[in-house]
Amino acid sequence: MIAHSKGSSGLAVHAGLAITPSGRPLGLFGIDADFRAVGGKKRKGECESRRWVNGLERAGELAAACADTRVVTVCDREGDFWELLAAAETTGESLLVRASASTRRKVVKADGSRACLWSHMAGMAPLTRRTLKIPACGGKRARASRKAKLEVRAAEVTLEPPKTAAHQTPLTLLAVSATETGKPKKPLHWLLLTTERPEPGRGLSRHAVEMLKWYRRRWTIELYFKALKSGTRIKDRRLGHADDLRTCFAFDAVTAVHVFDFQYLAREHPDLPATVSVRREEIYVLYKLLRHQGHRHIRGPPPDGDPPKIRTFVIDMARLVGSHPTKRQPLPGTKKIWRGFLKLQWAVIVYNALSADDSQ
């Protein structure tokens, strides 16, 4: 799965993060970082929609390189514009977008009449009812994590082109609607548009529920940007040249993937061996460095022994920079993991350099 989002701190950033359906980050497949004019205004010739189309193209390249892997681009409402939908239809790329009410999409019915997409879907009978865990969300639309009871509707729809693309032909996509029942303060209502169709022999209701689960993973990239901003304190960067900020961000963006992966594995899969995310060399250097720092009570595994669990490795890596687990906060925070990871990488570089000198 692919998630897209935007974040900015001196740079206008559009990043593509590859994740598994379970939510584990795999890495960045594309970063588009550029500067904005003073005051946040777009520069002449700058087209925000082009960034999204470029992201879809990068996802296509990823899919071609991983022929045995299903790659689906997942976007929030900012990705609901005609150019992106048409590009997916033209190239055959898999796309899942949350529809935005502001686009005022129109459905072309079989009799040739037009209807509002939202009203058209609301008038259909629910295919199924499901309970879906909704993650917490910050910002202007802040909400706590909860379980939402949803009515799920799905149907193939033909969308009329907007006036700006009136010369283009209509697009046929699958629409999936999820409406929260009961009386919550802010009821959830998702309307998704996707190029994905049910596999042969699979019911439409099951496919629609799967699309909802995929879209729920879109928030993963928000957590990634949170890790990026927390770990680097990027707003405090004071560099002499603008291009230096862009170069620095490229390194930080990759580091943030590693830190985010550590957090995910330590929280969701704590008993996995550390080798799922780090090399044995890094494990060896970590525990050698901890003992050098005076942590005599922490004994790492022998070079050829079983690796520690990933949760243990993450906690011990953060000890390099003064972190100590407590019952109230057993896992280190983003900043401690970030600093511990960087210190470990420097130690590995020094260890390899010294080993190379000894072998000569």
* Contact call for residues 156 and 174 (beta carbons, < 8 A): yes
Q: What is the pLDDT of residue 8?
A: 40
Q: How far apart are CA 24 and CA 121, in angstroms?
A: 32
**What pLDDT, on a 0 to 100 scale, did the predictor assign at position 213?**
92
Which of 193, 170, 165 has its CA nearest to residue 73? Answer: 193
pLDDT tens-digit series, residues 246-304: 778 888 889 999 999 999 999 999 999 999 999 999 999 999 999 988 887 887 887 77
Size of the chain in residues: 360
* Residue 51 CB contacts under 8 Å (≥ 6 apart), including other chains: 14, 32
CATH code for the domain defined by 2-223: 3.90.350.10
Q: Tell me: the pLDDT tens digits for 121-153?
A: 999 999 999 988 877 766 666 677 788 899 999
Amino acid identity of 137? Answer: C
Domains in the chain: boundaries: 2-223, 238-359
**In sequence order, what are the residues at sequence separation of 6 or more whose Cβ sits closer than 8 angstroms to the Cβ of residue 333?**
230
Per-10-residue mean pLDDT of the chain, 360 residues long, equals 47 84 91 63 56 89 91 92 91 94 92 93 94 73 79 95 87 95 86 93 90 91 86 66 75 91 95 95 94 84 85 95 90 94 94 76
The letter for the amino acid at 8 is: S
Alpha-carbon distance 138 to 132, whole Å?
19
Question: What are 105's two structure tokens?
Answer: 């999409």
Question: DSSP label at 331?
Answer: S
pLDDT attached to residue 247: 79
Question: Number of C-alpha atoms within 13 angstroms, CB side, residue 311?
Answer: 10
| Single-letter residue type at 50 | R
What is the DSSP-derived secondary structure letter of residue 137? B
pLDDT of residue 25: 93
Closest CA to 1 of 54, 61, 69, 67: 69
Q: How far apart are CA 301 and CA 317, in angstroms?
A: 14
Query: What is the pLDDT, as a whole number, of residue 1?
Result: 47
**Nearest alpha carbon to residue 172 among 192, 194, 193, 157:** 157
pLDDT value at position 214?
A: 93
**Residue pair 321/346 in contact by the 8 Å Cβ criterion:** no
Architecture of domain 238-359: Orthogonal Bundle (1.10)
